[in-house]
Amino acid sequence: MTVPPTDSSTVEGVRSVPAGGEAAGRPLRILTLVGSLRRNSWNRRLALAAKSLAPPGVEVVLWERLAELPHYNEELEHAPGPAVEELRAEARRADALLFVTPEYNGAPPSALKNAIDWLSRPAGAAPIAGKPAAVTGGSVSSFGALWAQQVARRALMIAGARPLERELPVGRIHERFAGDRLRDAPLRQQLRELLEELAAATRSEPTAMGATAATRTDSS
């Protein structure tokens, strides 16, 4: 089996129906986090493309304060500061989550993993517990940040979220855009289908693993 090399971005509680969304007469809300901190990164452009491709009844909302989160520290759990409090509130408000990641040294950027760590706590009351999540991302190589997506998906599962099994690595991402516009028609369709599947997952019952995975989070 060919092992993909490390890629990087070069331009930059459990429920059977959603807590909000259709149940509250508003669009389903998908909170979106982008692992690249650079304003004009390819992965941020990919997230904006997903926002524009949201199906009817679905709202994709980007949260762009990852750089303001402190490093996860259990001593700060109950007074983590305004950025963490806002992220947790947005996650609670959301019906599902979308993570868009480049790949640095075979893994997601530390800023994205740090956000997952904060969202996995406090134990027993994690804001993402039971929430459907999807992961995509891209790189300028042909491997499309696949390793980073696999690591992020595993971390989300352990944190108590319900990550989709669907993978969407975007190889040679710089060739998929004309400026800020995603011009690749097949990729536009794949993004749309990913969002549709994520929306559908908010209406489905969680698996036993999704319901209990958060109990596997350890403290240091």
For the chain, the average pLDDT equals 87
Residue range 62-72: average pLDDT?
Answer: 97
How large a percentage of the chain has pLDDT more than 90?
A: 78
Structure tokens at 124: 């027993």
**CA nearest neighbour of 147 among 2, 34, 41:** 2
DSSP-derived secondary structure for 125-160: --TTTT-EEEEEEE-SSTTTTHHHHHHHHHHHHHHT
* Residue 204 clears pLDDT 50, i.e. is over it: yes
Is 60 exceeded by the pLDDT of residue 209? no
pLDDT digits (tens, 9 = 90+) for 110-168: 999 999 999 999 989 999 999 999 999 999 999 999 999 999 999 999 999 999 999 99
pLDDT at 6: 39
Mean pLDDT over residues 58-85, rounded?
Answer: 96
Confidence at 78, pLDDT banded by 50, 70, 90:
confident
Three-class secondary structure assignment of 47-87: HHHHHHCCCCCEEEEECCCHHHCCCCCHHHCCCCCHHHHHH
- Sequence-distant (≥ 6) Cβ neighbours of residue 125 within 8 angstroms: 13
Q: Is the pLDDT of residue 220 over 80?
A: no
| 97 neighbors 131 (Cβ within 8 angstroms) | yes
Decide if 160 contacts 127 (C-beta within 8 A).
no
Domains in the chain, CATH or no CATH each: 21-212 (3.40.50.360)
pLDDT of 35 reads 97
Q: Is the pLDDT of residue 81 over 60?
A: yes
> Would you call 215 helix, strand, or coil by DSSP?
helix
The string of pLDDT tens digits covering residues 23-58 is: 557 899 999 999 999 989 999 999 999 999 999 999
Kind plus residue range of the DSSP H or E element containing 32: strand 28-34
Indicate the pLDDT class of residue 217, thresholds 50, 70 and 90. Answer: very low
Asked if 158 contacts 216 with a C-beta cutoff of 8 angstroms, the reply is: yes
Q: For residue 216, is pLDDT > 80?
A: no
pTM: 0.84
CB-based contact 30:195 (threshold 8 Å): yes
pLDDT score, position 16:
32
Q: Which of 175, 85, 166, 163 is nearest to 130 (CA)?
A: 163
pLDDT at 25: 76
Name the phi and psi angles at 165, rounded to 5: -80, -20
Contacts of 203 (CB under 8 A, 6+ apart): 16, 17, 18, 22
Task: Report whether the peptide linkage leading into residue 122 is cis, meaning its omega lies within 30 degrees of zero.
Answer: yes
Q: What's the rounded Cα separation, in Å, for the pair 43 and 56?
A: 23
In sequence order, what are the residues at sequence separation of 6 or more whose Cβ sits closer than 8 angstroms to the Cβ of residue 116? Answer: 99, 128, 152, 155, 156, 159
Confidence check: pLDDT of 11 > 70: no
